[in-house]
Amino acid sequence: MFRRLRRTNFISSVSTKLFILTFMSVIVLFLVIGVFSYQRLFEPIKQNNEKVLQGSVVQVENYIKTLMNNIQTQLIFLSTPVLYNMGEKDFVQLMENVFSYHQEEIASIYVIEDGKVQISSPYGYRVYIPTDRIAEITNQTSKTGFWWSPPHTINDHFVLTVAKQIDNRRVVAMDVNLNALTGPQIIQDDPDIQRRIYLFTGQGDYLSTNTYLAYPKTYLNHLEMKEALQVLTQQSGTSFNTVQTSFGNYMVLSSNQNRWDWFVFSVIEESQAFPLLESLKQQLVFVLLVAIILAFILSVWITNYIRKPVMAITRQFKAAARGELEARIKLKRNDEFTHIANGFNGMMDDIQSLFDDLRVAEEKKRHHELKVLQSQIHPHFLNNTLNAIYCLGETGHTQEMCEMIRSLMGLLQYSTDKVGDIVTVEDELAQLDNYVQIMNLRYGDVFVVDIAVPEIYNSTPIPKLTLITLVENSIFYGLSKEGVNHIIVCGKEHEGDSVLLEVSDTGPGIAPDKLKLLLEETGAANANKGLNNLGMRNVQERLRMTFGYLYGLHFDNEPDEGLTVTIHLPAGEPREQG
């Protein structure tokens, strides 16, 4: 995704900054929208869920109130002396009917007479009632009205005793099963929500719960919850609290709005207390993840939209800096980057046009320089040649003198006439013969030149003085070796559209470093000795400037065994060069 420019720090690159800016902007936008929406929805949803949570407490308190009123009604009915006097058997049947109808809520109904339990339902319950409890009930009901005992334990069950006097000798009492106050028939729960109800006295004593305690984990959690809720009994009224145990966090609604000042606690896991809020949180998290993905995609798209033209422009700028004048910026878009690209392309067109004009001017200048070098006959060459001709005249070799004068005149006319023209191989070989005759006059029989060029090559175009310069080079380098230097000028087979001519000798050859230096020198190596100042490099340049870089000289050099130079020429008729 990120491809940095060379020598550009990752953090400082424009594409990185643009990506971070776009990404963070989209994320912040979604966060602001999400937080605003959450805050607007939070309070109404929370209040609604608190009402639902409060409903369980209200159910328990209403049930307690209804149950106690019902118990009082039953006690008033059973404490009527007329019913008791109608016969023990009938009264027992009546008690059993009441107990059977309220067996979930009532642990037992019994009648105390003269300090002893005379009747009980169920019958065996009387054995669990301690004597001191009987005495307390008798004493507390000596007055008119109902007596409500504090919660106490009978046979490992929390009960509440309610008693009313029948007459001076008898008392009817009921033990209310406190576990029934938090039973499943009281709390109409959502099956998907696990709501736990705890009942405590106003003094903080535990009474009952609807929690199923058959599992060790549940029982341990129950013990921790009892300790935490016992602390909350120090508060009064209705309140919301958060309780934390080793098993998790819980929302707790407490209320003691009843005549007995008992505390009813509705306990629910925090994640289930506000299901709509939890769902909203999950949706917000999902929206945030979607926002991150969208922000990433959008940031990458925007970054690439900017980075690609910048990279294309930078790449072509670097290419232009390396001298690649054909560098152009190609963008398929219509924006500010297109204006930059058009400006760059126009500038490169102007620069290339200037370089083309400069190259043409340089080529013309170089052509002119080569023409000047070609047309300049070295004075030393003329002096030595004329001196040799004079000696022939003094010695009476008139015929030889005439031949030398003819050769010199032809060579001078060839060198100075039609400066810079391209000639045929036939013309070049004719003047090469004149040159060889002059050099034989000057140096004697130290070299022999054999020409074996087929006539089919006669019309091949060649720059003027090419063969003469190469033969001259072989002559002068061969002077350093004893014996006769055999120089051969021959034609080789065609290679495609090329004609190959070869100039070879049996001289000492040229060391590779000297050959390299020879090709770098602009003047002739045999300065002040040869026909003119044309050198190997100039011959190579003339061939390539005239025919192209596919043509020119090729050297096959073996030190101490001679040098072979192959000339690559185009086939065809010679053409005039301006």
What would the pLDDT profile of 296-341 be if each residue is shown by its tens digit? Answer: 887 788 778 777 888 888 888 888 888 887 888 888 878 777 888 8
More confident residue, 58 or 106: 106
Superfamily of domain 189-273: YNR034W-A-like (3.40.1840.10)
Q: Which residue has the tokens 């080789």?
A: 492
Using an 8 Å Cβ cutoff, are 153 and 167 in contact?
A: no
And the tokens for 473?
């080079």
Structure tokens at 7: 């020598």
Token pair recorded at residue 260: 């007995």
pLDDT recorded at residue 5: 44
Per the listing, tokens 């809720």 go with 229
Band the pLDDT of 81: cuts 50, 70, 90: confident
2 has pLDDT over 60: no
What is the assigned CATH class of domain 79-181? alpha beta
CATH of domain 376-570: 3.30.565.10
Work out whether strand 248-255 and strand 239-245 pair parallel, antiparallel, or are unpaired.
Answer: antiparallel
Please say whether the beta carbons of 184 and 210 come within 8 A: yes
DSSP-H helix ranges across 79-87: 81-85
Specify the domain boundaries for CATH 3.40.1840.10 within the chain. 189-273
Q: How far is CA 557 from CA 127, 374, 483, in A?
A: 135, 26, 19
Domain with CATH 3.30.565.10 in the chain: 376-570
Give the chain's mean pLDDT: 79
Q: Considering the chain, what percentage of its residues have pLDDT values greater than 70? A: 84
Q: Is the pLDDT of residue 576 over 70?
A: no
The predicted structure's pLDDT at residue 190: 57
Q: Are 533 and 527 in contact (CB under 8 A)?
A: yes
Please write the tens of the pLDDT for every residue from 271-308.
776 666 667 777 778 877 887 888 788 778 877 877 78
CA–CA distance, 546 with 553 (Å, rounded to integer) = 13
pLDDT grade for 63, boundaries at 50, 70 and 90: confident
Dihedral of CA atoms 491, 495, 499, 504 in degrees, nearest 10, equals -40
Residue showing tokens 């400006």: 343
Mean pLDDT within 48-55: 69
Distance of CA 37 to the CA centre of its chain: 32
> pLDDT band at residue 4, thresholds of 50, 70 and 90?
very low
Q: Answer positive or negative: Cα dihedral of 392, 397, 403, 409.
A: positive
Query: Cα(334)–Cα(339) distance, rounded to whole angstroms?
Result: 8
Select the highest-mean-pLDDT range: 5-9, 37-41, 391-395. 391-395
Closest CA to 554 of 571, 538, 567: 567
State which amino acid sits at residue 259.
Answer: R
Write out pLDDT tens, residues 468-498.
Answer: 888 888 888 888 787 788 888 888 877 777 8
Q: Which one, of 372, 404, 357, lies nearest residue 523 by Cα?
A: 372
Q: How confident is the model at residue 501 (pLDDT cuts 50, 70, 90)?
A: very high
Is residue 523's pLDDT more than 60? no
- Residue 517's pLDDT is 77
- Which of 29-38, 39-48, 75-84, 262-271 comes out lowest in average pLDDT? 39-48
Lowest-confidence pick of 217-226, 533-542, 557-566:
533-542
CB 555 within 8 A of CB 564: yes
Nearest to 29 by CA among 382, 323, 298: 298
A 10 A CB-CB count for 158 gives 20
pLDDT tens digits, 436-471: 888 888 888 888 989 989 988 888 898 888 888 888
Which tokens hold the place of 100?
Answer: 């059977």
- Give me the mean pLDDT over the 72-78 stretch: 85
Centroid of chain to Cα 344: 31
Delimit the CATH 3.30.450.20 region(s) of the chain.
79-181
Reference 542, options 420, 458, 457, 435; nearest CA is 420
Q: What is the per-residue pLDDT for 329?
A: 84
Per the CB < 8 A criterion, the answer to whether 278 and 42 are in contact is no
Is 503 in contact with 467 (CB distance < 8 Å)? yes
With a cut of 60, say whether residue 12 has pLDDT above it. no
- pLDDT number for residue 578: 44
With a cut of 50, say whether residue 222 has pLDDT above it.
yes
pTM above 0.75, yes or no: no
| Per-residue pLDDT reduced to its tens digit, 187-200 | 555 555 677 888 89
Structure tokens at 578: 């301006």
pLDDT of 530 higher than 60: no
Residue whose C-alpha is closest to residue 175's, from 90, 110, 270, 256:
110
Q: What pLDDT is attached to residue 371?
A: 58
pLDDT in tens, 365-408: 666 555 555 555 666 677 777 888 888 888 888 888 888 888 88
